[in-house]
Structure 1
């Protein structure tokens, strides 16, 4: 089967793993802004876009809840092990965002959200064997099992998630010398983690998948 051939390709696994990192990270900036109770944009309320976001901001806890949902979806994706649940959450949230960017005529933003929609659909298709039993109601289903990502990718995702959240909390641009240096260390840690995990996968292809 074509799907099985694609699903067992180690290179495809590597692409999907990093696509999860990328898509998961995409929700962090806007999600953290909402979770911390800050405004997402400074556009005037005379503009429909500014008016819309100001109304959401004034909703209070709902604004924080949106941020929490985005961060949760991003973290689940980056853990790799719970990436299917993260992709489902991401699809629900992103579909809403995608429709908003189209209906309010965001300049160029709808293109970005459309690409994100394609990416999350690819992730769901990748894990379709986990989702098909949902639609096979009252039918006996044989679920094909594929190896999970190796431990190195799970740890890498956790490092990325924690580091990105910490970098936002530190605010290296406006922070003191201590925060700036700690931000540099975190940035270096992200870079070293990326280099190490990919070097390990390149050196030993079996590291892409667990036994």
Structure 2
């Protein structure tokens, strides 16, 4: 099966859209924790892992910058429209995290980071045709255009971003007003998920009806 068939397949497009959502969200909790200047782990400095994270935490601005980079990469992926720059940023950041988890023998964590690396590489392969103008040097080329996510997926990504950032914000306690806001965010996420999929199903039904 050619890349063009894979790229134009509606199921594959749906998988890639939600893979971007999933990977983008994965950076929010840890990224916000670093951005707000909080420690990422409570491990003792007597262990290599705890000592490493404490040393990074003590760098101050670098710790915040790393968190900001993670959050920005996640937001770019969630928007769908700027998913390629987000995937490139994600690859640069995750490559370091992946090597760290392997080098320091994180129990089980290296498996998660390895799966995330595979997912990011898949996303880059999915959009690799957009990189041709950058990789080509002083050459005239024609870049094949493939369907990009529709407006409903882009809008959904923006809604997910706002809600998930709030839910991932460190130090928020589920009491009083914040509890209701958290519940509201979850409800908005669920309704957005249902609405976007219903809209896709409805458009597909109309398309099949017109082709009949």
Q: Fold match, TM over 0.5?
A: yes
Distance 1:124 1:170 in 2: 30
> Relative to structure 1, is the Cα distance of residues 171 and 41 closer, same or farther in structure 2, using a 3 angstrom cutoff?
closer
Distance 2:204 2:89 in 1: 31
Secondary structure class of the residue paired with 1:204: helix
1:193 matched residue in structure 2: 192
How far does residue 175 in structure 1 lie from its aligned partner after superposition? 4.2
Distance 2:7 2:175 in 1: 48
1:5-20 aligned within 5 A? 5-20=5-20
Q: Which runs of 5+ in 2 are unaligned?
A: 207-212
> Relative to structure 1, is the Cα distance of residues 9 and 100 closer, same or farther in structure 2, using a 3 angstrom cutoff?
same
1:56 matched residue in structure 2: 56
Secondary structure class of the residue paired with 2:200: helix
1:28 matched residue in structure 2: 28
TM (normalized to structure 2)?
0.93
Distance 1:204 1:149 in 2: 14
Secondary structure class of the residue paired with 2:89: helix
How many residues align? The count is 206
1:105 matched residue in structure 2: 105
Distance 2:168 2:118 in 1: 27
How far does residue 206 in structure 1 lie from its aligned partner after superposition? 8.9
1:59-95 alpha-carbon deviations (Å, 9 max, x no partner):
0011000000000000000000000000000000000
How far does residue 204 in structure 1 lie from its aligned partner after superposition? 1.3
CA RMSD between the two structures: 1.6
